[in-house]
Amino acid sequence: MTYDDGTEAVQGVSLDVDEGEFFGFLGPNGAGKTTTIKTLVTLLAPTQGSVRINGYDTKTDPQAVRESIGYMAQETSIDFELTPRENLRVACQMYGVPSDEREERIESLLELVDLRDVADKRAETFSGGMQKRLDTATVLVHRPPVVFLDEPTTGLDPEARLRVWNYFEEINDRGTTVFLTTQYLEEANELCDRLAILQDGQITHTGTPDELKSAIGTDTLTLSLKDPSDQKRRRAVHVVRQLDALEAATVEQTAEGLIIEADNVRSAVGDLFTELAAADITVTDFDVQSPTLDDVFLTLAGSEVEENGIATETATVQEVTR
C-alpha cells in the first residue's frame, strides 16, 4: 500500500488465516496495523499484491467481501441518539437481513451482548463498555463468517474489557473467524490462537503465543537455600549439572541460592528437588517464570518500542486467505 504522497505503508505482508481461527495482529503504534486491516476490509485498495477474504478478491469483488465480513473500527460506529434495538434495526437494513428474520436476530444479539434490559434506552446514556458491546452486536447482524476487530477494547476499564473479551470468545466458539489488532498483550495472549508481529510495515514473526514465548527465552527457576554458604551453593550447582533431566541448563549463583535457566525446567523440578535433598541441600523457596508476551514484544519488536515509542509506518498488504 502506497499513499498518494509516496508514503509506503505495509510492504510484502503475507498472511493465511484459517477458518474458525482467532488471529492476533500486534505491533507498535504506527507499524501499519490499521492500514493493513483497512485494506483487508476494502476501505483501502492495495497498490501491490492481492487480498482474498472468504474466496473473494477485494479488488475485483469488494461488495461480496463486505457482505461476508464484520468490521469493528477503533471508533464506535453506533448512533448514540438511537436505542440498542433501533441501532440493530438500522444495521439489519444496511446489511440486507431478511425482514422476517430481523426481530428474532435482534433479540438474540441483545441477549448475546447482555443489553436486553436497556434495549429501549438511548445509547448516549451508556458507559463506554456498553457502547462497545452494542457496536459488537451491530457488526454481527448479518452473521458474517469473518470479523475484523481494530483495537476494540482501547479505553475500556478492566472489567468492561473482560466482558467484551467474553463476547469475542463466544462468537469464535460458534465458528466465526476473528482477526484482532490490539495493543493489549494480555488480550492477545488470552484470546488468540496465533499471532503475527508487525514492525515497520513488515511481519517479523508469526506463531502461537507459546511458540513466540519459547522463541525468545527459556524458563527460569530461582532457588533459595536454607544454607546458602559457598560450599552448599557449589554442591547445588554440581547437582544441577549432573541431572540428566535438565537439558542445556545454565546456572548462576546468587546470595540466596541459584538461578537456573533451561527449556524444560518446569518438568524437571521434581527430579531436581529429589537430588538436592539427597545431597543434603534444603530449598526454602522457589519460583518458576516463563517468558511473557511482554518479553516477546519488547524483544522481537524491540528497539523501536523502547527507544522511539512510536514506530515509523512504512508498509503494503498482501495476501490474506481463509
Taking the CA atoms of the chain, what radius of gyration do you get in angstroms?
25
Q: At which residue does the C-alpha cell 495472549 appear?
A: 189
d(CA 141, CA 209): 31
Tell me if residue 211 falls in helix, strand or coil: helix
Q: List the grid coordinates of 191.
A: 484470546
State the pTM of this model.
0.73
**pLDDT recorded at residue 320:** 39
User: Half-sphere exposure (CA, 13 Å, Cβ side) for 137?
Assistant: 30
| Domains of the chain: residue spans and CATH | 13-213+297-321 (3.40.50.300), 218-290 (3.30.70.260)
- Say how far apart CA 62 and CA 59 lie, in whole Å: 6
pLDDT tens, N- to C-terminus, the chain (322 residues): 555 555 556 666 888 999 999 999 988 777 788 888 999 999 988 888 889 999 999 999 999 999 999 999 888 889 999 999 999 999 999 999 999 999 999 999 999 888 999 999 999 999 988 999 999 999 999 999 999 999 888 878 888 888 888 889 999 999 999 999 987 888 888 899 999 988 887 888 899 988 887 766 678 899 999 999 999 999 999 999 999 888 767 899 999 999 998 878 888 899 999 999 999 999 999 998 877 777 777 776 554 444 433 222 222 233 333 3
CA nearest to 158, candidates 135, 187, 181, 136: 187
| Closest among 156, 164, 159 to 137, alpha carbons compared | 164
Look at the alpha carbons of 202, 204, 209, 211 in this order and tell me if their dihedral is positive or negative.
Answer: positive
Alpha-helix runs per DSSP H in the chain: 33-40, 62-67, 84-94, 99-112, 128-138, 158-173, 185-191, 209-215, 230-242, 265-278, 293-300, 302-307
* Closest C-alpha among 180, 206, 218 to residue 300: 206
Cell of 295: 518479553
Residue 209, CA atoms < 13 Å, CB-side half-sphere? 18
Q: Give the pLDDT score at 308.
A: 36
* pLDDT at 229 (0 to 100): 95
The Cβ-side half-sphere exposure at 261, using a 13 Å CA radius, reads 9
C-alpha 14 chain-centroid distance = 18
Q: Is 76 left (phi over 0), alpha (psi -120 to 50) or beta?
A: beta
